[in-house]
Chains A and B, each alone.
Chain A
Amino acid sequence: MHLLHIENLSVNFKTDHGLVTAVDKFKFKIDPGQVIGVIGESGSGKSVMALAIADLLSPSAIAQADLFTLEGQDLNRMSPFERKRLITDNISIIFQDPTSSLNPALTIGYQLDETVRSHGGGNSRQCRDRSLELLASVGIQDAKRRYKEYPHQLSGGLNQRVMIAMALACKPKLLIADEPTTSLDVTVQSQILDLLMQLNQDLNMALMLITHDFSILSETSEKVHVMYSGQVVESAKTYKLLTEPYHPYTKALLDSVPHFGMHYKKGRRLYNLPGTTPPMRHLPVGCNLGPRCPYASRQCVEMPQLKSLHGRQVRCHFPLIEEAKQESK
């Protein structure tokens, strides 16, 4: 049984220009203790997807899924209140910018305490102890001092640790980390990632790692979903995807990562895809990548379906299997 199983999750926004699809038929499975990555550019719908899973969408959004089970319980059949309860008890989420994700007017301790209390943490003394414990467990040294401080007095890395501590308060089975390191310094990034991986191991907590940076996924996740314009364009085991992308977009993403050391070639230009991610409210006809895709042909006027190919899934009329083979030759 999967910890979380989602089939065909769609999120639409009501706007002045009618419904706009932000996430289109997203499929996702995760097992306890598993680490799965989701990658995509900004605006690809990955954050909306995360918010939809955590039931945090704004009232103007409509989320629907054919199947949505958490620990075998069907969330679609629950009242909104029950669903919220189940989700907050089992899923935690941390966000990109820890400093603005913490309430600036309240102390770290207060925010931790109320989280602990809302998950049945007992009286205030017990809550406090638990909070301090949590702070220690995410590697914050002088927890007692930090407990009394405000978010603005802490560095970004520390704040992200606090966020993680807060996320751990409900002993989640799944932690969704939405770009957890993007706004942090590089050295801090790896510390946070290490922490997340360690927690994943220690607590057998599944981790959904959302990022736009392949370098983060390469070391951590088992499987990666690549998203573009609200759709998953490719899903595969991480190393397979990194070494042998099938989808032109995945390849473009990989090629845009600079290489260092032995991979570095003087004069090699970083690859970049022409154009920008299309706005959600006027997507191109057919394949969303169509206008930007160097391999596009007439057939791409039709929307490609996600199909299985060599044990992974790809959404392209012309997957890059041949080309990859040729290159490898």
Chain B
Amino acid sequence: MSFVSEFRTSITKAIILASIIFIVGCEQSVAPAHKKNSQLLIYCAEGSPITLNPQTSTSGTTIDAASATIYNQLIDYQPGTTELRPSLATEWTIDETGTKYRFKLRQGVEFHSNQYFSPNREFNADDVIFSINRQKQPSHPLHALYGANYPYFKGQGLGTLIRNIKKIDDYQVEIELTRPESPFLSILATPFLPIQSKEYSDFLMQKEQLELFDKNPIGTGPFQYVAYETDSYLRFKRFDQHFAYISPIKNLVYAITPDPAMRFARFSAGECDMMRYPLPVHIKLANQDDSIKSIQTSALNVAYWAFNTEKEPFNNVKVRQALSLAINRKAIIRSVYDNQAIQAEGPLGPSSWAYDNELTSTQYNPEKAKQLLLEAGYSSGFELDIWAMPVQRAYNPNARKMAEMIQQDLLEIGIQSNIVSYQWGTFLRRVRLGHHQTVLLGWNADNGDPNNFLTPLLSCLASQNRSNYARWCDRNFDQLILQARQETSPEKRKDYYIQAQKLFAEAKPWLPIAHTPNNMLIQNEIKGVTLSPLGTLSFEGVHFAQESTDIKKLPDSQKNKQEQL
């Protein structure tokens, strides 16, 4: 019976205890002091990376998580630009056929170590060959690890483009291509081709623990992996032996907060220092608040309204022109993008080096649109479907709303329209098969090369149930971009691309709508953040207001000046 007699006292005690805990728990936490001491930077991330290996995923979350921290590529983009710079390769030469690339590798680069493994040797040519062959050769022991596929590698056709890769000596490799491909270096600089440690793989293979390879990743990057809790956090610590610089950030945490509202709430409560993918309203709020600021860089992306040129009446160029003239894009940019984007005139934005400055803007002109429709023989108008992508992307925060606005505009020239939407996977599949009449979609570049826009979005090959959703195929256009791809001189390439853009502007397979800049919110005491036009994240140069900047180990002038590029 003692249970009962003690019952009462224990309840009272528990209640008192609970209230004490509640009160104490509500007290201001002691964390900030700790935070300063540990030189901790918290980055509010938008999702849980599915994997920490950028080879196996094209998801931005994975790229942000792994490429800014764990890995380095052979070549790199200068932070904040699309300019190439040496990374693990210090210099490179391309032979006159344009198919043989020889890379000289950096010496004295160390790999991370973790509780399973500590490296016995420094980075060398074996690691490069290992990392590329992992993606290229199905027979590679790691190729089929976790049933991985290599979407970027395959998507770019690198498997066939790269004929072979061979070791010249410990610090030299040669990659031979099947054909000249000028964007190849840009591709190598993307985060999708990180260099991993062959020694680690051999070690794990020996211990038969190969599954740890991507889960406890080892790389050469500025931060090394500590822990990952799905949906919660991703934790890194500084890698003091990094070849290029030592960041003042000792500890780096990705606080995973998928919901943008909650992410902003956390950010504004000071729970994180940097925040990606703010909504337009958050930028507005940040501008009102003195303790936080928003930074912005123009980005290589485009949102567009594509017409299915295989279908009536969109096979008529006059109809496409009429539709393009009928849309008030200024209003769209104001309401959908909250004026945070610039109006697009072609597939390439002004931040691309091949941008055609002389491209004439398509002016909003419903009268002319009606005129053109009349000429095309559709004076009484027609009905069309607008497929609006169901998800939110940086380049299009609200496709549905955009569709509603287009719907209104089309009514003015006498065209009735319906908005169609499916679940994202279904939507993409059907659009790929060409079920749509018109579709609102967009594209985000993954490397700085113009080819990255023109080939996947507008080439004939891509019109065959692939990512050319206008299903537009113009042999001249194709010829131009092929020539540009095989040409190594930047000036000549630019010429080809400008011609191609002119062809596009005449044919109007889509109406380009907007180029959205990349945004990031940061706390005021965080300095030196640079945003990449490609949307990739980098912590290089990031420091706290009261601390010094990176300790640079490499001179800035160590840019590779090469004759061919």
Contact = CB atoms under 8 A, between A and B. Distances in A.
Contacts of A110: 1, 4
A58 to B, nearest CB: 24
Contacts of B1: 106-107, 109-110, 113
Nearest to A114: B5
Interface in B1-23: 1, 4
A63 to B, nearest CB: 30
B431 to A, nearest CB: 68
Interface SS of chain A: helix
Range for the number of chain B residues in contact with chain A: under 10
B8 to A, nearest CB: 12
Nearest to B1: A110
Contacts of B4: 106, 110
A129 to B, nearest CB: 15
A135 to B, nearest CB: 16
Interface string B286-326: 00000000000000000000000000000000000000000
B395 to A, nearest CB: 67
Contacts of A109: 1
Interface string B502-534: 000000000000000000000000000000000
Contacts of A113: 1
A201 B422 CA distance: 93
Contacts of A106: 1, 4
Interface string A86-111: 00000000000000000000110110
Interface in A172-204: none
A107 B1 CA distance: 9
A106 B4 CA distance: 9
Interface in A265-283: none
A244 B187 CA distance: 122
Interface in A91-146: 106-107, 109-110, 113
A81 B4 CA distance: 26
Nearest to A113: B1
Interface string B97-140: 00000000000000000000000000000000000000000000
A234 B4 CA distance: 48
A113 B1 CA distance: 10
A107 B3 CA distance: 13
A109 B4 CA distance: 13
A107 B4 CA distance: 11
A121 to B, nearest CB: 14
A219 B4 CA distance: 43
A308 to B, nearest CB: 53
Nearest to A107: B1
A110 B4 CA distance: 9
B55 to A, nearest CB: 66
A106 B1 CA distance: 9
B5 to A, nearest CB: 8
A24 to B, nearest CB: 41
B1 to A, nearest CB: 5
B9 to A, nearest CB: 15
Interface of A: 106-107, 109-110, 113
Which 5 pairs across A and B sit closest by C-beta, in order of nearness?
A110-B1, A107-B1, A110-B4, A106-B4, A109-B1
7 contacts: A106-B1, A106-B4, A107-B1, A109-B1, A110-B1, A110-B4, A113-B1
